[in-house]
Amino acid sequence: MTTPTEILKKYWGYAQFRPLQEDIIQSVCKGQDTLALMPTGGGKSICFQVPALMKDGLCLVVTPLIALMKDQVASLRSRNIPAAAIYAGMYYQDVEKLLEEARRGTYKFLYVSPERLQSRRFLEYCDGLPVSLLAIDEAHCISQWGYDFRPAYLEIAEIRTQFPGVPVLALTASATPKVQQDICEKLQMHKPAIFSKSFVRSNLSYSVIEEGDKQPKLLHILQRVPGSAIVYCRNRKGTRELADMLEQQGISASYYHAGLTGEERTARQELWIQGRIRVIVCTNAFGMGIDKPDVRVVIHADAPESLEAYYQEAGRGGRDEQKAYGILLYHSSELDRMKEMVKLQFPGQDQVRGIYQALVNYLQVPVGGGEGVYFDFDINDFVQKFELNITVAYSALRILEQEGILQLSESVFMPSMVEFIVNRQTLFAFDAAQPGLSPLVQTLLRTYEGVFDNPVPVYEKQLMRILRMKEPEVIQGLQQLHQRGIIRYKQRKSVPQLSFVEQRVSTQHLRIDTERVKARMKAYQDRLDAMLNYVRNKNQCRTQVLVAYFGEKDAQPCGICDVCIEQKKKPVDFKAISGLLLAELTDTPTEWDVIRNKLKDVNEAELMEVTQFLISEEIIIRDEEGSFRMKK
């Protein structure tokens, strides 16, 4: 039988696994339900890709990120591993064709968005899918106590019933102990094996700086720390302003947010990955699935709303294990505003109903309609037309999504679709009368099988190369054929989509579980409080604070964060600390955790330094089991 290491070497060219990867793989191969917690950049995908290649059948991968889904499919195919993806917004006939191929064993990996799991069409095909492993990426999305709850994930447990005996591997980069427990319960895991890689990033130096005027400070940091950089901003306007400022100061930069077209985002991302621009200034829309190991500094120009988000975003620095910096800039007034924003993030039931009514008016969806239809949705246009607060409107839509009423998707990059809608006699007559469009007509017929009978995906860039034309000229030609009634041309989409999960109900019959919304609000407040405590903290090592949030209580001070560096500058008060320590010790051995808990107001690094000094002076003794006592 082929070993995991042989699979790794054959397809990825690596001689050995990273820490914890092989343990997770062995657990999956034994058929055990498994939860894997691995920090950003820890190599999560290998943990399901390798065991899937060791098994017969299909690995069904659930992930919410379309861009990441497509990248992984492309990466697998480049290694001659058959893979495909199904996501919200695809045409029915394309989904059916792909599922039929999956039934026949054409693919080794099938990536599916959580929304697709709920569709009747997918469920109809489940019976014949040869699934041998179910991998759940971004598994924290299943927990309403997590920072990125997505109700569609709750359907995964139902999917398990379609594949009895198939093990589940749930993967996440950031989950608190409460969320970990929720993941296992919601996925109905049976005696799960839980693997957790340390959340400590020993090469990453965290700092928090209070700064009223952030632009000069940002510039100063980038002038002092060479190399590739990411700057996170709360809003789109801020990304553009900071990128323009950096460019004016001679630092190559570009901005990135969800409001740009797909082509713009891809182009800017590639320029940054290739090192042709040094700094990418972005909203949190940037980063998932980006594999750039040599990022030297990640700067947050605005504080994020949770430590989960901060840990993931800052963790994009230093993946090559070389020294890197995670720096957060803030002003006290900003923290006050974040607390005040909680009410806007959780509007009342009447506000939610009002925004729901505005939405169905905006999209012109009648009662009983809308189910399964994808609408192009520009939230900026929506709030302007109905004079709404954008934060309240977006928050209301998120509540409606979490209540299972509608779905918001990221930009869906669907190919253009073309279908001839005239008979052959009419087409021949048109072809003769319009010689300028004839090459395009003939190329469509030769290149895309079935285009005369059914809508098929077409690619403007492919037509551009065949016809040796510029892409705008190809698009213009297709639009002319559409306008003249020869073809139906549905141009590719790169805009956010919104759909109704069920038939649209009247506003008075809209059901919202207010107690559940209140519980989510409390969880949000707790996450925000943890973030604000991290920002305001001046006494405890930043790494210790971060990893303790994720349940890792025994981490040592990192020695390289701003708090640790500041502590090193201060002279240790030996007399005061030794007095406190000796008061706690007797001739009975006392464990370090007990001492630490009793003296929790004392800096741990200083306490350890004083302890070592007292041991060297033979005032106290450390026994073989690591406990401490007074010397008799």
| Alpha helices, H only, 193-348 | 214-224, 236-248, 262-273, 307-314, 332-340, 342-345
**pLDDT of the residue at 599:** 85
Helical pair 514-536 and 332-340, crossing angle rounded to 10 deg: 170
**pLDDT of the residue at 301:** 96
Residue written as tokens 């001046």? 538
User: From edge to edge, which strands make up the β-sheet containing 58-62?
Assistant: 83-86, 109-112, 58-62, 131-136, 168-172, 34-37, 193-196
Asked if 4-196 and 204-339 have one fold, the answer is yes
Instruction: Give the domain ranges of the chain.
Output: 4-196, 204-339, 341-412+495-525, 416-490, 571-630
Options 3.30.1370.60, 3.40.50.2000, 3.40.50.300, 3.40.1410.10; CATH of 204-339 = 3.40.50.300
Please list the residues that pair with 328 across neighbouring strands: 208, 300
CA distance 447 to 418: 12
**pLDDT of the residue at 322:** 95
**pLDDT of the residue at 410:** 56
* Residues of the chain below pLDDT 50: 411-412
Domain 571-630 of CATH type 1.20.1300: no
Query: Token pair of 464, please?
Result: 């551009």
The closest of 211, 236, 451 to 327, measured between CA atoms, is 211
Q: Are strands 487-490 and 416-420 parallel, antiparallel or unpaired?
A: antiparallel
CA distance 484 to 426: 12
**pLDDT of the residue at 450:** 74
Query: Structure pTM?
Result: 0.74
Residue 283 φ/ψ, nearest 5 degrees: -90, 180
- Whether the Cβ atoms of residue 584 and residue 620 lie closer than 8 Å to each other: no
CA distance 91 to 414: 9
Q: Is 406 helix (H, G, I), strand (E, B) or coil?
A: strand
The class level of CATH for 4-196 reads alpha beta
**pLDDT of the residue at 212:** 87
Q: What is the total residue count of the chain?
A: 632
**pLDDT of the residue at 91:** 67
Domain 341-412+495-525 of CATH type 1.10.10.10: yes
| The 3-state secondary structure of 469-514, one letter per residue | CCHHHHHHHHHHHHHCCCEEEECCECCCEEEECCCCCCHHHCCCCH
CA distances to 4, 27, 167, 169, 221 from 193, rounded to whole Å, are 19, 7, 11, 10, 43
